[in-house]
Amino acid sequence: MIHNAKRRVTRRSLHDHGPGPVGELGVLFDQSPIAMVFSDRDLRTRRTNAAFRRLAGLPDEALTGRRPSETDPGDRIMDTALIEHVLAEQVISRGVPVVDVHLESAVAGERRVFSWSASRVTDNGQGLGVLGSLTDVTGRVQAVTALRQANARLDLLQRAGSQIGTTLDIHRTAGELAALAVPDLADRVTVDLCDQVLQGEDPPRAGPGALRFRRVAVRDAATRVTVSFAVGDLITAPVARWPAVAFLQGKPLLARNPAEISRQVSYAPGQAEAILSRGVHAVVAVPLTARGVTLGVATFARAEHPEPYGEADVRLVRDLATRAAVHIDNARLYTREHDTAVTLQRSLLPRDIPQAAGLDIAYRYQPASRAAEVGGDWFDVIPLQAGQVGLVVGDVTGHGIHAAAIMGQLRTTTAALARLGCRPGQIMAQLSDVVAARGDEIGATCLYAVYDPASRRCRLTSAGHPPPALRHPGGLIEFLDVPGGVILGAGRDRYPATDIELPGGSVLALYTDGLVEQQPGQDIGTGMSRLARALAATPARSLDQTCDSVLTRLAPHARDDITLLLARTTAQTGR
């Protein structure tokens, strides 16, 4: 009897509204703030509480006796097919409960998230049905999502410090910005700069018609996607469209729907359709501004990302663009200084090499690439008394306009002292005084040779410069042992000279260290061995061809300035 009584109490517990223990359970069920529903083994609703009916937005009669999929959702959308499958196959059949599974629902167009739990109800092992509960956890999920997004934004900013601006190259810096943003922040990024910026010049003032940009970077999460303009294309941007407006106003502009994108974002007819066909649904156009100068525009677009851009995203985009703009401006200013230094240096080098009796001469000067700074390399060929000729190469430490200016002073001083008949050692001492008088931390290396074609004797003096190479007529390559004094500017020192006879048809090669030191810290012996092989590999060519061949083999992309001066002895001439 007691057993049967318990059984009757259990069976009535979810339906009884009366007083007593069973009725109290019913009151607790009905008044619970958590939305609760009891369904039978066929998943038909038998009882709901007030919280569940409020959540569903339906009265009791619209819910009772119906399965979840049979309930009219109205403007509420939830995956009822999934719910029924899990309840039937997992909860009822196997007795495995569902605990805190998140379900998404659209309520009146608003996305909501619910925590769903369900467990089987039994009586002495016999399944009666399933008890489920739903709790709105939208706020909690949104807070967690916001925290996760904030951490992701912070991580992106931290990575920007090390991944943007790794070189003084405008194109690479723009590409680094795009690579950092895709796919974490955007599915597509383009960077457009004023064409003048790429030449190291200031951006133009806005005219009445349109702006002209050069596309320098494109990054898209989708492969094999082309949307209108490619890297290198010149773009004419109407001033009324957002990219140009963002450039002119100096502030980000946000398009959050296809209508705005079609109306404002595109540069040219057909581009809006191409952007929308890519799936883009949100765009931010942000100016690239540094030191009060706007250099171009970066455009960030989302396609696969379901979320539109929010204010926090716009602030992040602006911060990244500002960081990139500073590095782009540094590269622009460097490009300007680099070009100025190259122009100055070329103007200070000899324009025409004078004819030298008993010597055929060829030379090459190759400035450093824009990835490195221009140095102070120089060379000269100086006609002297009694038919002799002076050959000189030198290299000022340091870079830029300052080094080029010192180089010009040293070249002028060397030529003047040589024509006055000063001995090589005296010339080196005077040059050292010139460098020391500058009063800054700078030095220079130099190699000076005086060749007498009548005797084929050559006197050489070095101030810390790499040794010259001599190619004998038979093809043997020898590096001459020239006593090396200290570099110029390091203090007074003796600069001893050495004499050597140059065989007829031999080639003397004078060069600066940029030719044999391609990497920082590289053993100079390795570079000298490569130079020897390059000189030996061109026995029958002209000196000009030899110069070109050596540079091609040793320094196709020089990190430092290179000077190469070749002198080949010819038939002896009398005095």
Do residues 213 and 87 both lie within one domain?
A: no
Do residues 331 and 357 both lie within one domain?
A: no
Burial of 394 (0-12, 13-18, 19+ CB in 10 A): buried
Residue that is last in its domain, among 84, 101, 136: 136
Do residues 280 and 313 both lie within one domain?
A: yes
Do residues 402 and 487 both lie within one domain?
A: yes
Asked if residue 41 belongs to a domain, the reply is yes
Asked if residue 463 belongs to a domain, the reply is yes
Do residues 127 and 188 both lie within one domain?
A: no
Instruction: Look at residues 308, 374, 387 and name the one whose alpha carbon lies nearest to residue 340.
Output: 374
Asked if residue 5 belongs to a domain, the reply is no
Query: Which of helix, strand or coil describes residue 387?
Result: helix
Do residues 36 and 185 both lie within one domain?
A: no
- The answer to whether 447 touches 482, Cβ cutoff 8 Å, is yes
Do residues 189 and 236 both lie within one domain?
A: yes
Residue 475: CA atoms inside 13 Å, Cβ hemisphere, count? 8
pTM for this structure? 0.58
Asked if residue 550 belongs to a domain, the reply is yes
Do residues 132 and 147 both lie within one domain?
A: no
Do residues 249 and 380 both lie within one domain?
A: no
Residue that is last in its domain, among 336, 369, 397: 336
CATH number for the domain spanning 503: value is: 3.60.40.10
How many domains does the chain contain in total?
A: 3
Do residues 191 and 294 both lie within one domain?
A: yes
- The answer to whether 561 touches 367, Cβ cutoff 8 Å, is yes
The residue segments making up the domain with residue 303 are: 143-336
Tokens found for residue 135: 């709790």
d(CA 411, CA 431): 9
Do residues 390 and 434 both lie within one domain?
A: yes
CATH number for the domain spanning 231: value is: 3.30.450.40
- The answer to whether 571 touches 384, Cβ cutoff 8 Å, is no
Average pLDDT of adjacent 10-residue blocks, the chain of 575 residues: 39 44 72 90 92 86 88 66 89 91 76 90 87 90 75 78 86 93 91 86 69 90 74 86 84 85 73 81 92 92 88 90 92 78 71 83 80 71 92 86 82 93 91 85 91 94 95 92 88 86 94 82 83 82 88 78 92 50
Instruction: Look at residues 335, 393, 329 and name the one whose alpha carbon lies nearest to residue 368.
Output: 335
Do residues 167 and 114 both lie within one domain?
A: no
Residue that is last in its domain, among 96, 120, 136: 136
CATH number for the domain spanning 84: value is: 3.30.450.20
d(CA 492, CA 494): 7
Query: Which of helix, strand or coil describes residue 196?
Result: helix
What's residue 1's pLDDT? 35
Asked if residue 344 belongs to a domain, the reply is no
Asked if residue 314 belongs to a domain, the reply is yes
Asked if residue 176 belongs to a domain, the reply is yes
d(CA 5, CA 8): 5
Asked if residue 191 belongs to a domain, the reply is yes
